[in-house]
Amino acid sequence: MLAADDLAAHQARVLDPIQTTYRGLTVLEQPPVSQGHILLQSLSIAEQFDLASMGHLSPEAVHVCLEANKLSHADKDHYTTDPAFSPLPEGLLSKQYAADRAALIGMDEAMSFPPPAGDPPVGSDTTYLCCVDGQGNALSYIQSVFHGFGCGVVAEGTGVVMNDRGFGFSLDPDHANFVEPGKKTVHTLNTYMILDGDRPVIVGGSPGGDVQVQTNLQVITGMIDFGRSPQHAAEDPRWTRGMGRSIGFESRFPEKTVEGLRALGHEVGMSAPYGQGGRVQVIRIGEDGVLSGGSDPRCDGCALAF
């Protein structure tokens, strides 16, 4: 339970973003207690493969991204917690670790989920928006109360609905996110910003719980590896990984891709044409400063310029 003293003693911690590189660009993400590291790890693993030569929406390219997400997500329960209690292992975002994990991907068979966590070298009611102004300042923002109406409590006199992110704690004392006094719970909220040098070039994100990092991986590889525009990347057919080998695919995927993934052992389930997770909003900033935006038709968002 929370007491008045707990709230009075609370102090917000403003942390630096975590980062990796992907195809020569710098990708920034939220640090723990966010799961943003999963996206960065997934990109570093996918970077070990030539996705562009495999082809957009090909079974090979989709398979690599699925397996990269599985391997990255496997580290979440093992390592992700309040960094004040236990920071991420120093080597979790290293390229060497990504290469070691990528070597576990077999191109002839899907792995089950979850695979074992790695050993790094030492060293739903959510709103997302992004914006860029005329001076080039960029913002990638996400906010959530988690379940419908959060915990169902409104702070008296404020209209502020309290979230129920404490749901993310574990009661297992051996779990990295075991509930303890003063500890912040792990949550799924994460957004990204991609830089070319020190200049923002892509700003984006999506609601969707654990699906956020899966959706963001598909949008980023779509734009960088396959040259998709922001709107095309937001609209492209999407997959959502479940437990085991089960994957939900929108019916707009090419039949060749679906059958190719089934042949690899993925348990493919088909949904409506726009029936999978994620509600993408994304902006690309061209070298000439021209902005192009994309908004997901799966939600009631929109792209505006003024």
Q: Which H or E run includes 95?
A: helix 95-102
Residue 246 tokens read as 């089960």
Q: Judge if the upstream peptide bond of residue 230 is cis by omega within 30 degrees of 0.
A: no
CA 44-202-242 angle, to 5 degrees, is 50
Pairing of strands 291-295, 281-285: antiparallel
**Catalytic-residue membership of 81:** no
User: Residue 157: how many CB atoms within 10 A of its CB?
Assistant: 6
Residue 118 tokens read as 């790695």
Q: Which of 80, 126, 215, 221 is catalytic?
A: 126
- Dist CA 59 CA 256 (whole Å): 7
Pairing of strands 191-196, 138-146: unpaired
In 94-166, DSSP assigns E strands to 125-132, 138-146
- Dist CA 288 CA 300 (whole Å): 30
Q: How many CA atoms are closer than 13 Å to the CA of 116, on its beta-carbon side?
A: 4
Residue 282 tokens read as 């994304």
Residue 185 makes CB contacts below 8 A (sequence gap 6+) with: 33, 82, 165, 166, 167, 168, 169, 177, 179
Active site residues: 126
